Amino acid sequence: MDSFVVLGDICYSKDPQDLYTGQDQYLVCVDGKVEGVYAQLPEQYRTLKLYDYRGKLVIPGLIDLHIHAPQYAFRGTGMDLELLDWLNQRTFPEESRYENLEYARRAYEIFAEELKNGATTRACVFGTLHVPATELLMDLLEETGLKTFVGKVNMDRNCPTYLTEKSAEESAENTRRWIEDCRGKYHNTQPILTPRFTPSCTDGLMFRLGELQREYNLPVQSHLSENLSEIAWVRELCPESSCYGDCYDQFGLFGGAVPTIMAHCVYSDETERKLLKERGVFIAHCPESNANLSSGIAPIRQYLQEGQRIGLGSDVAGGSDESMFRAMAEAIKVSKLRWRLMDQKDTPLSAAEAFYMATRGGGAFWGWVGSFEAGYEADILVVDDALSAHPQELSIAERLERMIYLAEKRHILHKAVAGNWVK
């Protein structure tokens, strides 16, 4: 880890509504962590290497709490389908191809390179059920320098025969083998338990994943209350559960001592929201995917008011782009539609709130990540917003808002993850 100073136009979230901005200020990073932000550089840091980015935006790296690596290959297609049909017609056939390691390498090399070259510094990633392909994905992501959690997917029912593990025992054993293969192998990339969603996992499999979680102390990621047909299906499969989230909770896979991400939560009812809050589960809000697959619009204003833990997910390929700038813009847009068309109490998200979710909100899954306050890990993104020229004098906050809507890979000059420069 390096110690260094970055000079630029600093912007980071203190809370969902409050942005800190400072022009031509010094961000001091010592041994991979933020030491502080200063208008004048203290004497004791003047011997550190200085990266001079005056006139550039310097913001925390962006966090993707939910993305599917094998789906990157077909992003932007099948968008006329709803979730369950989309899974059967597009997703499952594509994911079955990752049994072929040659194909998996071609696809995952593209995915890893694109993620490296974008604004994302940390991501929670779904693989497939194939152990060799998932380990290959982890190898490639490790090389990028990004911090990632990667999951071998579990599926033992209600999936095509060509993409279904034969039994709960086989799925659990494959998962154990994968976990053991990963132990001590990686620095940047770590395993995360990944039951695809309740319809694809029997109670027997969920029980065994709960055992593995407790044995290896791993985090968990899955999907929750995304689509009305999906929710109705879960009610049929689990009639005794108090809510969809309870289907995970009864097996110890829903927060508490288990760091957990649940993607979507479009239709979480009062019972489920209470459980999410009590267990400290992270909600991965995936606004573009929810729109593309006609799932709906999650009540993010309500979740913020309730103090839920919320970050953003690109959810490729439900989402068409891995850009977290785009995810922020989409989150704002759909919140306006929800406010206008569904619930006048759910006031639209501000740019500051969307930025908070893409940085500090999602970063909290890793701990002290997503801010430039002292003690946070030094995840840094340097953005050249002047590449999109315009004639006005703008504040730093206005420039950030502009980039939320306009940023492309060409605007990303440099990025660091935990104090290590990767671009």
Stretch 38-58: mean pLDDT: 98
Question: Which of 349, 366, 383 is where one domain is finished?
Answer: 366
Per-residue pLDDT band for 1 (boundaries 50, 70, 90) equals low
One domain for residues 89 and 189:
yes
Q: Scanning the structure block, which residue is given the tokens 């011997």? A: 47
Q: Is the pLDDT of residue 312 over 90?
A: yes
pTM for the model stands at 0.97
CA distance 71 to 126: 9
Q: Is the pLDDT of residue 345 over 90?
A: no
**In total, how many domains does the chain have?**
2
CA distance 213 to 220: 8
Q: Is the pLDDT of residue 87 over 80?
A: yes
Contact between residue 369 and residue 311 where contact means Cβ atoms under 8 Å apart: no
The verdict on whether omega for the bond into residue 317 sits within 30 degrees of 0, i.e. cis, is yes
User: What value does the mean pLDDT of the chain take?
Assistant: 97
One domain for residues 135 and 35:
no
One domain for residues 122 and 29:
no
Q: pLDDT tens for residues 378-406?
A: 999 999 999 999 899 999 999 999 999 99
Q: With b meaning 16 or more CB within 10 Å and e meaning fewer, what string describes 162-190?
A: ebbbeebeebbebbeebbeebeeebebbb
One domain for residues 329 and 393:
no
Q: Domain of residue 14: give its range.
A: 4-61+370-421
Q: pLDDT tens for residues 140-182?
A: 999 999 999 999 999 999 999 999 999 999 999 999 999 999 9
One domain for residues 48 and 67:
no
CA distance 248 to 236: 15
- Per-residue confidence (pLDDT) for residue 314, from 0 to 100: 98
Q: Is the pLDDT of residue 3 over 70?
A: yes
What is the CATH classification number for the domain harbouring 347?
3.20.20.140
- Per-residue confidence (pLDDT) for residue 93, from 0 to 100: 96
As given in the structure block, the two tokens for residue 71 are: 């789906």
Contact between residue 145 and residue 188 where contact means Cβ atoms under 8 Å apart: yes
Closest to 219 in 3D by CA, of 89, 102, 370, 65: 65
214 sits in which H/E element: helix 203-216
Contact between residue 13 and residue 6 where contact means Cβ atoms under 8 Å apart: no
Q: pLDDT tens for residues 258-299?
A: 999 999 999 999 999 999 999 999 999 999 999 999 999 999
Residues contacting 183, CB < 8 A, separation 6+: none
One domain for residues 327 and 345:
yes
Question: Which of 320, 348, 366 is where one domain is finished?
Answer: 366
One domain for residues 120 and 213:
yes
